[in-house]
Structure 1
Amino acid sequence: MLSLSTQQLSVKLPLTSLSRMAAKKVLVVYAHQSTGSFNAAAKDAAVGVLASQGCTVEVSDLYAMKFKASATAEDITGEVKNADHFCYAEETKLAWEEGKLCADITEEQRKLTEADLIIFQFPMYWFTVPAIMKGWIDRVLTLGYAYSQEKRYSQGIFKDKKAMLSFTTGSHESMFSADGINGDMNVTLWPLQNGILHYCGFQVLAPQIFWAPSRIPSEERSAMLESWCTRLLFILGEKTLSFTPLDCFDGEKGFQLKPEVYEKNATKEYGLTVGIHLGKALPPNNQMKAGV
């Protein structure tokens, strides 16, 4: 049995944390087919702990919902503007503006709009999210609703919201190290955390990574869940990951780093981020721990 009752936890919640978490709304976007999975236990732990602190928690159980993963013209009710040269991003932007997106998308957008924190809970498939969760990202984060050319990254639409990844791996942590066979997990996380979450403006919390739970003893899995529950007690007060602000780039020159920013960092040991490292070594744990 992988689940861990929140009543079993020895941690106690300080009143200061209770007041901080009260009345917050949390959306858990969950992708696993088995109710007996470790991911299900992690999702249930999040719901239990956060609800016990006064949060309103909604869960989008994507498999149970039979959520449609493919982004197609069916996501628009009525006629599209240009059927001969269909562009999904532009067509769904118009549909969002005109109230013509299909019901499952608008319902997920409602949940997202109301949420203060979004937790994506999933097993890592092929170094990324499962297809059904990628479909949620493709369809729900509509152009205009979630981002625009003017509103992205540090100036993004969701800059007042927090988001985080919580996931299991099939490989041990050593395999995702800088000299491990899978490569540095910080690099693996960059497209998800910078290219999706930060791109839409979210303040990104450090990921919760459950390393290879299927390959360790049950008592270690329980310890993992207890650690997750302890973290959840203070999750909204955590520092977020650091990303280079949009105003450090020159929009008139292809969004390259401004010369003064480049020069300021030229003599430093590490680059700025995983994605912009100036030919230097990657900043250690840049995508895994806040304040590094």
Structure 2
Amino acid sequence: MNVLIVHAHPEAASFTTAMRDAAADALTESGHDVRVSDLYEMKFNPVASPNDFLGRANEDYLVYALEQRHADANGLLAPDIKAELDKVVWADLIIFNFPIYWFSMPAIMKGWLDRVFVSGRCYGGMRFYDRGGLKGKKALVSLTLGGQPHMFDANGVHGPLPDLLKHLLRGTLGYLGFDVLPPFIGWHVPYISQQERTALLDAYRERLLTLESQQPLAFPSLEDFDELLRPKAHGTA
């Protein structure tokens, strides 16, 4: 399996970075091909702009998604976007590895999503969910945060973590057609002991050895909706 790890943490000695390395080592030892995009190390530009295109379909007014389609079809994507998109096409599994910032991902990773998941190639028209442009690929979110599990229970102070990450798990990865595996969470990381950190890394390695047997999260099938995306009527009166 080809695995791309998209990593976003500004500190090379962080636990999040240790998770990146643990994943790369475990998957390589299991016979998978692994590539890493370390966004901070790469100084990846997260800002979508007209500079993302070597030529434009409309030089007078920027509709970013339409220009993505035009540039991808005509070999006009900026080199940094093209390099990352090639990795996406190559990968069977993409791991998104990051610390939680404000119930979300670091801005540099959000910018990677905005610029690399190009319209036309990855989604567009009725090409989403089980018809998405990246259907057949797997995605795994591996994250760290300072909170404890009880804070993210159904009745916890913050609510269930998957609900808070719906914008990523469903609104981005599920929408694009990925089989989205349940996230791996490094809880309470800034406050736990070295022994607990070691146990977390061991649990993560074990999780990565069972990827093929993990059940993806459930998202809508477009077969259940009509051409206007209204739910189809099931059965008769």
Gaps of 5+ in 1: 1-23, 264-292
Is 1:95 the counterpart of 2:47 in the alignment? no
> 2:100 matched to which residue of 1?
124
> 1:138 matched to which residue of 2?
114
> 2:38 matched to which residue of 1?
61
Alpha-carbon distance in structure 1 between the residues aligned to 2:189 and 2:146: 8
Matches within 5 A, 1:9-158: 24-78=1-55, 80-158=56-134
Deviations, residues 71-111 of structure 1 (Å, cap 9, x unaligned): 10000013x23233211111111011110000010000111
Deviations, residues 137-192 of structure 1 (Å, cap 9, x unaligned): 00000001111113111111111110110001121111122222212212112111
Alpha-carbon distance in structure 2 between the residues aligned to 1:164 and 1:26: 10
* Aligned-residue offset at 1:43: 0.4
Per the alignment, in what secondary structure is the counterpart of residue 234 of structure 2?
helix
Is 1:159 the counterpart of 2:135 in the alignment? yes
* Aligned-residue offset at 1:259: 2.7
Alpha-carbon distance in structure 2 between the residues aligned to 1:81 and 1:148: 17
* Aligned-residue offset at 1:134: 0.3
Is 1:226 the counterpart of 2:202 in the alignment? yes
> 1:259 matched to which residue of 2?
233
Alpha-carbon distance in structure 1 between the residues aligned to 2:222 and 2:173: 14
Q: TM-score, normalised by structure 2?
A: 0.95
> 2:168 matched to which residue of 1?
192
Percent identity at matched positions? 42
- Larger-gyration structure (1/2): 1
Deviations, residues 44-80 of structure 1 (Å, cap 9, x unaligned): 00000000011110000000000000110000013x2
Per the alignment, in what secondary structure is the counterpart of residue 251 of structure 1?
coil
Q: TM-score, normalised by structure 1?
A: 0.78
Per the alignment, in what secondary structure is the counterpart of residue 256 of structure 1?
coil
Alpha-carbon distance in structure 2 between the residues aligned to 1:243 and 1:60: 27
Alpha-carbon distance in structure 2 between the residues aligned to 1:27 and 1:200: 16
Tell me: higher relative CO, structure 1 or 2? Use CA pairs within 8 A at least 6 residues apart.
2
Per the alignment, in what secondary structure is the counterpart of residue 146 of structure 1?
coil
Deviations, residues 12-65 of structure 1 (Å, cap 9, x unaligned): xxxxxxxxxxxx110000001111101111000000000001111000000000
Alpha-carbon distance in structure 2 between the residues aligned to 1:134 and 1:213: 22
The residue type equivalent to 1:31 in the other structure is A
The residue type equivalent to 2:230 in the other structure is Q
Per the alignment, in what secondary structure is the counterpart of residue 258 of structure 1?
coil
> 1:207 matched to which residue of 2?
183
- Alignment size in residue pairs: 236
Deviations, residues 180-227 of structure 1 (Å, cap 9, x unaligned): 221221211211111100111111111101112112122111111110
Alpha-carbon distance in structure 2 between the residues aligned to 1:173 and 1:237: 25
* Aligned-residue offset at 1:243: 1.5
Matches within 5 A, 1:237-276: 237-252=213-228, 255-260=229-234
Gaps of 5+ in 2: none
Per the alignment, in what secondary structure is the counterpart of residue 250 of structure 1?
coil
The residue type equivalent to 1:260 in the other structure is H
